[in-house]
Amino acid sequence: MDEQKIETCENFQKFLDLPEEKRERIINAAMKEFLAGYKKASTDNIVREAGISKGLLFHYFSTKERLYSFLVDYSIDVVQQEYLDLINVIQSDILESIWQLSLLKQDLSTHFPDIFDFITSAYVDTSAKNESVAANLAKFNTIHAKITADVYAHADVSLFRDDIDPALAMQVISWALQGYGQSKTGIAPAESLGKTARESYELFLEEFQQILNMLRKCFYK
């Protein structure tokens, strides 16, 4: 490792060693500013909100890109610890499992609002997709995909009507939910009716529950 990389690692460690209150103040200020979009985000606004000098911010992170990459990595770690690792709602009723997963995500948005808003924006902000960010988001997607696969694997197909093919019913449910999710992915929450990601998620849950109820009427006994 060359001297510049060693210095960068040492400076980053100094940030991690900061008192928790100061460290969280910097993180929260940066997350809120990046909600405007990676390109529009101003480090001047971040340091003003955090109450530190610009020189000190770049002493810790060296570049705006490194700061953003750190925030994505940090957010995904929290989401995994507080959401993914705690999931134990998989049950025989596939639609109920999917609904409970949605409610757990709502709990995450309540307890970690800044992180929820930031990581949601990171998915739709294509201007900030460097290799590090892309790798972290891909890792998160892989974990989430495994949970989804487990939900489908534990589904009790005897709950379906006798006059339909259960395998085809499962596939149609998957297509319907994937299509609905993709229809929402291209809309940045902050641009959707002026709502934050958390407020938009409340609206999403209302509509999502209606879709699950419709699928239940179509396929269940």
Structure tokens belonging to residue 192 = 């959707």
- Residue 107, pLDDT > 90, answer no
CATH for 3-62 is: 1.10.10
Domain with CATH 1.10.357 in the chain: 72-219
> How many Å apart are CA 208 and CA 203, to the nearest integer?
9
Q: What pLDDT is recorded for position 131?
A: 79
| 145 pLDDT more than 90 | no
Mean of the per-residue pLDDT values of the chain: 83
Both tokens of 97, joined, read 């499992």
- Say which DSSP state 54 is in: H
What pLDDT was estimated at residue 216? 96
Three-state DSSP class for 160?
Answer: strand
d(CA 30, CA 24): 10
pLDDT of residue 213: 96
Could you confirm whether domain 72-219 is CATH 1.10.357?
yes
Taking only the tens place, the pLDDT of each residue in 45-82 is 999 999 999 999 998 998 899 899 899 989 988 888 87
User: Given CA atoms 105, 109, 115, 118 in this order, what sign does their dihedral have?
Assistant: positive
Q: pLDDT value at position 6?
A: 34
3-state DSSP call for residue 220? strand
Helix (H) or strand (E) holding 204: helix 197-219
Q: Identify the pLDDT of residue 189.
A: 45
pLDDT reported for residue 173: 94
Region 177-195 average pLDDT: 61
CA–CA gap between residue 181 and residue 39 (Å, rounded): 26
**Rounded mean pLDDT, 88-109:** 85
pLDDT band at 123 (very low <50, low <70, confident <90, very high): confident
Residue at token pair 């209606």: 210
Q: Per the structure block, which two tokens stand in for 183?
A: 């229809």
What pLDDT shows up at residue 10? 65
Which residues of the chain form CATH 1.10.10?
3-62
